[in-house]
Structures are given as structure tokens and as C-alpha cells.
């Protein structure tokens, strides 16, 4: 294998834009970046064409390629027009409440309240942006276009996430327990690093698995060098004892859903009693000063799967809460489905539950407490696998529900109250399992606390209601820690504390949802924010050698599962010469075909075609095949295509 290779999208399935989508792609880009209705709400629009990735913004256009160089992943800029919109990559940017307020002031939104800190892209950074963009287009489920709205411009909830920027992408990360050297670490970390670090601390063996490139060690000509079937991350050796310290007997992964890094830092550093039990762990932890950069999109279901597999979503295939299977014309919505969703996870990745069982034996107990990714866990309520005595589970549930803060309902936040009930049930499950004498102590527990996410959305990332939710979550964590102490399990447990994404304050009066704009202006799309799948026609034009006749084939641009293109019957084809001369007005037959006579005195560049079908975006082209659609490069940057 060559030492240097362009490493484009690993599995081709229609993601990004192909030559048949030049017109619709440009129309969508202009709708998002040049239409006054939404252009001030959009930060970035991402796509790929062939082996080149594109980052579009009103500030500039960046085109880059991913390379494999001596086994390493590198990136090379192909073209830049205007400013590089993702040039700033510092993980330490805007990492505290004070910094969020100062960034908001520089953005033109002066405030002393971090819950109203609205930050423009010029004040943000995009850590690991090239890697996080490229990985996404490795999956055939990814959209043709992926939108990253401005940090403050999505939806009607006071807190939101999903974008590429550092505020929405930064999650807290801390490790505490055996083998860990406590302290603060200004080390850039990614969420794909969590799973391999856990495996290393647990002294799992290296295997012949796939690295970031998708190649096994044996295919790369090296010894086994990863811990999981697909491993995009690295071991965070900086926080570990050397030589390797005492192996933990179990791992307790705590995911405080949606809790921002800056909020947790503030509560911890200020001595706030809301994090009394968390402080018990954090004070003796290896704490990443600037957090960890999560999956992109920075959204719940993809990010949780990344934490549990050590693979980006472009490799584990849960690319969004809702996404589209082009080959089967089927929308998929694991987050909306909520339960029985582990089947959405790609078969080429391995979860930590599966890794624990592979290494420690099939009977070792692994537990998922309402984690959105549970494949391989013995106990996983969201997959309808329940262990432990049901009578005790019911009793604990009734007890813990009684301790839910009444403020959520009193303030009309019914969705937050439902999240609190979910967490009370999850706590009951874990305590019942730990107290069951018929079960061994779990070797691995992944515990999702959902309340912090629900409260962050409804109250904002730094609102009083969010801080009440943190305090309530902390009390639930305290119950678990007390049980571990009582059972003599605390000091032999590795604790990992994180979240699945950050959370940013929103200008709710905008009621912004720019990803839907192409759909609203009449384009044929499938939209699952922040992704857009364009419904396009593939048009093949053939002119007879004598110049007297021509024919046009019209297909659905997304291949069938067989790889074949489906002919489109009933597509309207208008053929013109010049502005006013109509040559033919036809409809395609069952083979997607029309044929017509053409003037022998006209060249292929003098004959125009308009192809329309009500379910697809129209095509405007010449008989030569050249597109007649608009040019986003020309209109945005004054540069010809």
C-alpha cells in the first residue's frame, strides 16, 4: 500500500454532492447562505464531492482532502476563497462563563448573564474540525448537505446543541479511581478517546481491529494496535500512572446529558452545594481543563454511540437523531423511537459492553441505565432487558419519584418532569441491581442522567432551573456512591464523568430553523436537522452521430440496493432552441426515456433541456450535458465555477 494516499469517503452511498446535483446543490447553498430570510442564522454548510470536502460560509469557502500518510491521518487544503471559516481550532476557546459573556459582548450582545450569551462565529473555534467533518461523510447515511447553524440560532428552546462550534461541542471529561493521576490537564481530548482509554486501564489486549482508516492492523502491515473492532480514538496516556497502576475491578461511566463544561466548572469551582457528590469524585480526578470534543453532529444519539464505541458516527452509522436510508427510501429515527434502537448501530463497530464480555467472559455483568446505546449490555431497560427483583425495583422507583423537584411542573415544564421520572426509574434499576445478592457486581455500568439535558433545553444552559436539575441529579448520584461505599466497591471502581455534548444559549425570538429553508422554498428534500438529502434526477443525454435525433434517459439519482438507478416514468422534458423555439415537449416512458428530432443546424450547446418531475428537483441543462443552474461560487464569492 502506498505510503501517501488520498483517503476520501470510505463507503460510497450517495452522501455529499455528485455531478448530477450541481444545480440543486448550488440552489440549496444559495438558499441557505444568500437568502435574507435565513443567511444570518447559518454558520456553515458542509458537503463533499468525490474525495474533496467543502466548508461553505458567507465568510469564505474551504475545500480540503484527507490523506493517509505513513498510517497517520492528515489534511491538505485544496482551495480557499475569502476567509477560512474554520481556521480557529483552539480547544481552549470560550471555556468559562466569563469567557462566554465576553464573547457575547464582542458579538454585539452585551450581557452579564451567561444564559443570554449569544455568540457569533467570529468569536468561536472549531476544534478537530477537519477530522469531524471528514468522518461524517464516511457513512452512506449522511446527507448531501449538513448545516451548522450559528451558535444561538436554532429552535424555540432556551438551550440547544448540534453544531460544530466549540460551545456546543465541548463536554466535560474526568477520570477518577485506580491508575489515574489526579490533576488538571490542558490536553486536547475527543470523545472517541474515552472508550480506548477505558480498555487500556482495564488491561484489555490489543486486537487486529480497524483504526481511523477503516483498515485492520493486518491490512496496514502492523501488529495489533487497537482495543476495539473500530477505534478512531487514542489512549489518554497523559492522565495515567506510569508504570501502569492498579487495574480497576469495574467501570462506572456517568453521562450527565447536555450539561455544559463551563457550567460544571462554575458549580465545582464556586463550591456550589449542587455538586456535593460530584465534587467527591472531581476533587480527586484527572480533569480535562478544556473538556472533550464530542461527535459531530453534537446530538444525543450519535454522541452516545461514539462514547460507547470509540468511533465517530460516520463509522458507527447513527449519524443523526433522524436520517435517511437512500437505497431503501426509508427514513430512520432512532432518537424518536427511543426504545429498541441498538439495531441501528453499524456492525463494524464494537461497544464497550461487547468488549468487556469478549475479554472478561460472556457472563460478566454489563449494565446500561437508560443509555441510548446498549448493544451487548445484559441489563438495558431501553432494549427491554431487565435484571434484578421486580418488587424491589417497584419499591425503589416509588421512593425516588417522591424526591423529584416540584418546580418543573409548577413552572409548566412538563417535559423536564418526565426526564426526572426517567432518571428516578434509572436510579431504581441500578440500586436494585447492586443490592441483588443473586447478581455479581457489574464490571461495566453506563449510566445516562437525562434530566440535565431536558432542563438545559427548557431553562437554558445556565438557568436556575438547570441548576436545580444538576442538584437533583447530584443527589441521585450520591445514592449510587453510597451503595458502592456500603458494598465495599467504591475504591476499586474507575469513574468516568462526561456528557454527550455541550449546550448553547438561543435567541428564541428568531424561531430559527434554517435547515428547513430549502424545503420551505419548494425544493424537494428530506430534512432531518441539521442534514438535508436532496431528491434529484440523474439525466443521461445522447445525440445521434448524424445530429438529427437525440434521446434523454431520466433516473432517480439515488441507486437501488442493487446499485442500479431506477428509471423515472412521467418526467416532463422540454427541449428548446434559443429563447422561444420549442423543439419538443414530452414525457418519459417506463424506461425513463424520450426521443426527439433536433435541428441539424444547431450545436449541442445551443439546445436546452428542462427536466421536471413533481417528486424531484428540476434540471436545467444543455444537450451537451452542461448545467444551466446558478453558481454559488459566483454569487457568493465572485469566482466562476
The CATH number given to whatever domain includes residue 223 is 3.40.720
- Sheet strand arrangement including 366-369: 183-185, 286-288, 173-176, 493-498, 250-256, 444-449, 366-369, 379-380
- Looking up residue 600, the CATH number of its domain turns out to be 2.60.40
What pLDDT sits at residue 52?
98
Find the mean pLDDT for residues 337-346: 96
What pLDDT sits at residue 578?
76
Binning pLDDT at 50, 70 and 90, where does residue 199 land? very high
Whether 380 has a pLDDT exceeding 90, the answer reads: yes
Give yes or no for a contact between 345 and 332, defined as CB atoms under 8 angstroms apart. Answer: no
Whether 411 has a pLDDT exceeding 60, the answer reads: yes
List the end-to-end C-alpha distance of the chain, in Å, as a whole number. Answer: 35
User: Based on the domain organization, do 71 and 183 belong to the same domain?
Assistant: no
Tally: H helices and E strands in the chain: 19, 30
Find the mean pLDDT for residues 501-510: 97
For the chain, give the percent of residues with pLDDT over 70: 100
Residue 13 lies in a domain: yes
Residue 624 lies in a domain: no
CA atoms within 13 A on the CB side of 617: 27
Whether 538 has a pLDDT exceeding 70, the answer reads: yes
Computed over every residue of the chain, the mean pLDDT equals: 96
Whether 156 has a pLDDT exceeding 60, the answer reads: yes
CA distance 119 to 105: 8
The cell numbers describing 148, all together, are 451548522
Whether 421 has a pLDDT exceeding 80, the answer reads: yes
What pLDDT sits at residue 333?
95
Give yes or no for a contact between 88 and 80, defined as CB atoms under 8 angstroms apart. Answer: no
User: Based on the domain organization, do 524 and 447 belong to the same domain?
Assistant: no
Last residue of a domain, one of 498, 525, 550: 498
Higher pLDDT, 560 or 56: 56
CA distance 182 to 197: 15
Helical pair 261-269 and 97-106, crossing angle rounded to 10 deg: 130
Binning pLDDT at 50, 70 and 90, where does residue 547 land? confident
| Other beta carbons within 10 Å of 179 | 21
CA distance 477 to 254: 9
User: Based on the domain organization, do 303 and 227 belong to the same domain?
Assistant: yes
Q: How far, in Å, are 319, 392, 461, 622 from residue 168 at the CA level?
A: 17, 39, 10, 44
**Of the candidate ranges 66-75, 285-294, 543-552, the one whose mean pLDDT is the lowest:** 543-552
Give yes or no for a contact between 294 and 502, defined as CB atoms under 8 angstroms apart. Answer: yes
3-state helix/strand/coil string of 300-356: HHHHHHHHHHCCCHHHHCCCCCCEEECCCCEEECHHHHCCCCHHHCCCCCCCHHHHH
| Phi-psi group of 201: left, alpha or beta (phi > 0 → left; psi -120 to 50 → alpha; rest → beta) | alpha
Residue 194 lies in a domain: yes
User: Based on the domain organization, do 138 and 181 belong to the same domain?
Assistant: no
Selection from 332, 288, 324 nearest residue 170 by Cα: 288
Find the mean pLDDT for residues 87-102: 97
Residue 622 lies in a domain: no
Residue 505 burial class via C-beta count within 10 angstroms: exposed 0-12, middle 13-18, buried 19 and up: buried
User: Based on the domain organization, do 35 and 176 belong to the same domain?
Assistant: no
Last residue of a domain, one of 488, 516, 534: 534
User: Based on the domain organization, do 285 and 295 belong to the same domain?
Assistant: yes
Find the mean pLDDT for residues 15-23: 97
Residue 635 lies in a domain: no
Residue 347 lies in a domain: yes
| Other beta carbons within 10 Å of 203 | 11
CA distance 12 to 288: 36
Residue 636 lies in a domain: no
Q: Return all residues near 30 (Cβ < 8 A) that are at least 6 apart.
A: 630, 632, 635, 636
Q: How many domains does the chain have?
A: 3
Q: What is the residue range of 267's domain?
A: 169-498
Report strand pairing: 183-185 vs 286-288. Answer: parallel
Q: What does the buried/exposed string (b/e) look like for 433-456 if buried means 16 or more CB atoms within 10 Å of the residue's CB?
A: bbeeeebebbbbbbbbbbbbbbbb
Last residue of a domain, one of 471, 498, 525: 498
User: Based on the domain organization, do 84 and 188 belong to the same domain?
Assistant: no
Find the mean pLDDT for residues 421-427: 98
Helical pair 390-401 and 414-434, crossing angle rounded to 10 deg: 140
Whether 1 has a pLDDT exceeding 60, the answer reads: no
What pLDDT sits at residue 305?
98
What pLDDT sits at residue 88?
98
Residue 300 lies in a domain: yes
Whether 2 has a pLDDT exceeding 80, the answer reads: no
What pLDDT sits at residue 279?
97
Give yes or no for a contact between 138 and 9, defined as CB atoms under 8 angstroms apart. Answer: yes
User: Based on the domain organization, do 317 and 412 belong to the same domain?
Assistant: yes
User: Based on the domain organization, do 453 and 368 belong to the same domain?
Assistant: yes
User: Based on the domain organization, do 413 and 339 belong to the same domain?
Assistant: yes
Residue 54: beta bridge partners? 47, 63
User: Based on the domain organization, do 521 and 560 belong to the same domain?
Assistant: no
User: Based on the domain organization, do 482 and 521 belong to the same domain?
Assistant: no
| Other beta carbons within 10 Å of 74 | 13
Amino acid at each position: 500500500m502506498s505510503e501517501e494516499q488520498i483517503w476520501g469517503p470510505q463507503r460510497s452511498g450517495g452522501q455529499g454532492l455528485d455531478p448530477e446535483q450541481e444545480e440543486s446543490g448550488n440552489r440549496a447553498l444559495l438558499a441557505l447562505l444568500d437568502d435574507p430570510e435565513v443567511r444570518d442564522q447559518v454558520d456553515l454548510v458542509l458537503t463533499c464531492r468525490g474525495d474533496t470536502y467543502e466548508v461553505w460560509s458567507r465568510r469564505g469557502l474551504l475545500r480540503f482532502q484527507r490523506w493517509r500518510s505513513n498510517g497517520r491521518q492528515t489534511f491538505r487544503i485544496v482551495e480557499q476563497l475569502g476567509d477560512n471559516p474554520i481556521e480557529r481550532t483552539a480547544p481552549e476557546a470560550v471555556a468559562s462563563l466569563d469567557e462566554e459573556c465576553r464573547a457575547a459582548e464582542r458579538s454585539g450582545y452585551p450581557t452579564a448573564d451567561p444564559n443570554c450569551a449569544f455568540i457569533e462565529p467570529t468569536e468561536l473555534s472549531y476544534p478537530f474540525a477537519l477530522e469531524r467533518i471528514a468522518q461524517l461523510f464516511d457513512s452512506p447515511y449522511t446527507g448531501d448537505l449538513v448545516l451548522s447553524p450559528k451558535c444561538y440560532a436554532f429552535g424555540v428552546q432556551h438551550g440547544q446543541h448540534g453544531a460544530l462550534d466549540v460551545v456546543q461541542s465541548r463536554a466535560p471529561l474526568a477520570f477518577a479511581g485506580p491508575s489515574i493521576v489526579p490533576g488538571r490537564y490542558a490536553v486536547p481530548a475527543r470523545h472517541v478517546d474515552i472508550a480506548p482509554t477505558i480498555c487500556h486501564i482495564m488491561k484489555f489486549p490489543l486486537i487486529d481491529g480497524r483504526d481511523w482508516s477503516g483498515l485492520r492492523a493486518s491490512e496496514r502491515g502492523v501488529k495489533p494496535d487497537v482495543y476495539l473492532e473500530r477505534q478512531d480514538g487514542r489512549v489518554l496516556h497523559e492522565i495515567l500512572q506510569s508504570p501502569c497502576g492498579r487495574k480497576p475491578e469495574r467501570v462506572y461511566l456517568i453521562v450527565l446529558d447536555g450539561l455544559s463544561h463551563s457550567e460544571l466548572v462554575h458549580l465545582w469551582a464556586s463550591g456550589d452545594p449542587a455538586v456535593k457528590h460530584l465534587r467527591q469524585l472531581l476533587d480527586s480526578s484527572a480533569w480535562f481543563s478544556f473538556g472533550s470534543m464530542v461527535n459531530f453532529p453534537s446530538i444525543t444519539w450519535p454522541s452516545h454511540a461514539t462514547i460507547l464505541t470509540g468511533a465517530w458516527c460516520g463509522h458507527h452509522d447513527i449519524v443523526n437523531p433522524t436520517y435517511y436510508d437512500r437505497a431503501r427510501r426509508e427514513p430512520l429515527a432512532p432518537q424518536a423511537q427511543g426504545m429498541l434502537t441498538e439495531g441501528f448501530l453499524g456492525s463494524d463497530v464494537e461497544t464497550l459492553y461487547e468488549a468487556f464480555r469478549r475479554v472478561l467472559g460472556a457472563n460478566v455483568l454489563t449494565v446500561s441505565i437508560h443509555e441510548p446505546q446498549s448493544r451487548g449490555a445484559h441489563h438495558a431497560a431501553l432494549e427491554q432487558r431487565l435484571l434484578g427483583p421486580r418488587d424491589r425495583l417497584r419499591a425503589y422507583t416509588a421512593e425516588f419519584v417522591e424526591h423529584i423537584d416540584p418546580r418543573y411542573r409548577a413552572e409548566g415544564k412538563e417535559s423536564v418532569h418526565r426526564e426526572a421520572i426517567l432518571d428516578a426509574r434509572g436510579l431504581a434499576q441500578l440500586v436494585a441491581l447492586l443490592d441483588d445478592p443473586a447478581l455479581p457486581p457489574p464490571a461495566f455500568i453506563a449510566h445516562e442522567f437525562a434530566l440535565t439535558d431536558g432542563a438545559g433545553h427548557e431553562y437554558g444552559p445556565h438557568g436556575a432551573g438547570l441548576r436545580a436539575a444538576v442538584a437533583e441529579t447530584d443527589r441521585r448520584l450520591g445514592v449510587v456512591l453510597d451503595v458502592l461505599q456500603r458494598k465495599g466497591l467504591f475504591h476499586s471502581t474507575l469513574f468516568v464523568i462526561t456528557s454527550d455534548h455541550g449546550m448553547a444559549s438561543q435567541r428564541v425570538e428568531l424561531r430559527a430553523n434554517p435547515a428547513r429553508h430549502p424545503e420551505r422554498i419548494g425544493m424537494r428534500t428530506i430534512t432531518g436537522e441539521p442534514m438535508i438529502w436532496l431528491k434529484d434526477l440523474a439525466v443521461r443525454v445522447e445525440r445521434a452521430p448524424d445530429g438529427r435525433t437525440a434521446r434523454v434517459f431520466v433516473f432517480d439519482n439515488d441507486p437501488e440496493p442493487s446499485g442500479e438507478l431506477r428509471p423515472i416514468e412521467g418526467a416532463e422534458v422540454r427541449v428548446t432552441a434559443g429563447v422561444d423555439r420549442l423543439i419538443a415537449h414530452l414525457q418519459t416512458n417506463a424506461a425513463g426515456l424520450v426521443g426527439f428530432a433536433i435541428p441539424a443546424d444547431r450545436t449541442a450547446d445551443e439546445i436546452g433541456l428542462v427536466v421536471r418531475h413533481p417528486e424531484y428537483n428540476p434540471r436545467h441543462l444543455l444537450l451537451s450535458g452542461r448545467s444551466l443552474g446558478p453558481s454559488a461560487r459566483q454569487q457568493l464569492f465572485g469566482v466562476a465555477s
